[in-house]
Amino acid sequence: MDSLEEIKKNALNSIEKAADEEALKLLKIEYLGRSGNLTMILRGLKDMPEAERRVMGALANALRQELEGAFQNGEKNLGAIAKTAHFKQEKIDISLPGAKIPVGHLHPLTKIKKEVEEIFISLGFEVVEGPEMEREHYAFDALNMPKDHPAREMWDTLWLEPLKDRMLLRPQTSSVQIRYMEKHEPPFRIIAPGRVFRYEATDVSHDIQFHQVEGLVVGEDISVANLKHITLSFFRKLFGKDSQIRLRPSFFPFVEPGFEVDISCAQCQGRGCSVCKSSGWLEVMGAGMVHPNVFKAVGYNPKLWRGFAFGVGLDRLAMTKYKIPDIRFFSENDIRFLRQF
Ligand code: DAH
């Protein structure tokens, strides 16, 4: 059996020379493991005479402690060396381009909405909003469409459960006219942009949800001339100063007389193309003079006040302006579509 001195010399020597943590582990087993050199000596102590055992025991235990410390140091050193080696291998190429942070932007409908709002603000209008979930009173009754009136058929309405409260998803922004007039006195000019819903089979020009901008101007002597002037100014600011409009007689229960407003096709300057189906005109807006029954429903005196109202489809405007062929693209969330704006 080796002497304690020899064990110490060999152990410390080997620990110092150990190439890596694995080698150190094996050495530890060799010296301090269950059948290691030193362990054997410590085990043999019990067979020694008392006096010798005391001396040997103290020495052997001291050596055990010393070796444990040496192993600990060795482990620490090798660990540090391994780390440095790893860092040395890692290379940073500062000439590589940095990681791009994707930057979002506004949805085309938000863009057109902002543009429309700015134009109307410049024409002296205030922007107001109303709820998408609406009461029957605001969506129909107060707009001169009593219960069971066949004109309600013009809007394929999505009713909400429970039906006892007669709530619905508003099929048009015209309901905001009523909500505003209930709380304000004329004269005023407002627009109300927002989302509307229809129970509808979808195709390239129809969706179950789309967006409108409602307009309402009430004053003492408002006439169709004002309606024409404001709508023409609006379309010229949006589509260019050469735009023309025409009014065709139409029916909406909340106006009398009612009109369909067409704009000259910006694509072909009215000459006729596939966009305007060779007619030279695009149907973009419903409008008219506010019906006396609507004024009565909000407590205005129809003999005192006159007004005009209009409703324009935002999606249709964006499709015309940005040449978008399918209304459903707006809500599909296809990033390839959205990236183009
Ligand atoms: N709300 C109508 C629709 O959704 C559009 C409209 C027509 C609005 C005439 C008006 C109006 O304010 O006077 O079809």
How high is the mean pLDDT in each 10-residue block of the chain (341 residues)? 80 88 88 84 86 88 90 87 80 87 92 97 98 95 92 88 81 98 98 96 92 98 97 96 95 97 86 85 95 98 98 94 91 92 89
Q: Which atom of ligand 1 is nearest to the CA of 196?
A: 4
Helix or strand holding residue 243 (H, E): none
Name the closest-CA residue to atom 10, ligand 1.
310
Q: What is the pLDDT of residue 311?
A: 98
Q: Which amino acid is at 49?
A: P
Q: What is the pLDDT of residue 231?
A: 97
- 171 Rama sector, left if φ>0, alpha if ψ -120 to 50, beta otherwise: alpha
Span from the CA of 175 to the centroid of ligand 1 (angstroms): 10
Q: What is the pLDDT of residue 150?
A: 87
SS3 134: strand
Nearest to 316, CA basis, from 175, 213, 223, 234: 213
Record the tokens describing residue 49, joined without a space. Answer: 């005479």
Q: Is 307 in the pocket of ligand 1 (CB under 6 A)?
A: no
Beta bridge partners, 127, equal: 191
Q: Which atom of ligand 1 is nearest to the CA of 216?
A: 12
DSSP label at residue 206: B
Name the closest-CA residue to atom 12, ligand 1.
310
Q: What is the pLDDT of residue 2?
A: 62
Intra-chain end-to-end CA distance of the chain, in Å: 86
Nearest to 233, CA basis, from 263, 272, 211, 274: 263
Record the tokens describing residue 250, joined without a space. Answer: 């139409």
> Cβ–Cβ contacts within 10 Å for residue 238, how many?
18
Record the tokens describing residue 117, joined without a space. Answer: 């709002």
Span from the CA of 232 to the centroid of ligand 1 (angstroms): 17
Pairing of strands 188-197, 158-159: unpaired
Tokens 């060999």: give the residue. Answer: 10
Q: Is 289 in the pocket of ligand 1 (CB under 6 A)?
A: no
Substitution candidate for ligand 1 out of 134, 172, 224 with most atoms within 8 A of CB: 172
Q: Which amino acid is at 70?
A: A
Q: Say if CB 181 and CB 218 are below 8 A apart.
A: yes
Which alpha helices (H) appear in the chain, and where do they start and end? 4-17, 21-32, 37-44, 50-89, 108-122, 136-139, 175-183, 224-239, 292-297, 314-322, 329-332, 335-338
Record the tokens describing residue 291, joined without a space. Answer: 């019906």
Q: Is 311 in the pocket of ligand 1 (CB under 6 A)?
A: yes
Find how far residue 239's CA is from the centre of its chain. Answer: 29
Q: What is the pLDDT of residue 78?
A: 85
Q: How many helices (H) and strands (E) does the chain have?
A: 12, 10
> Cβ–Cβ contacts within 10 Å for residue 88, how many?
8
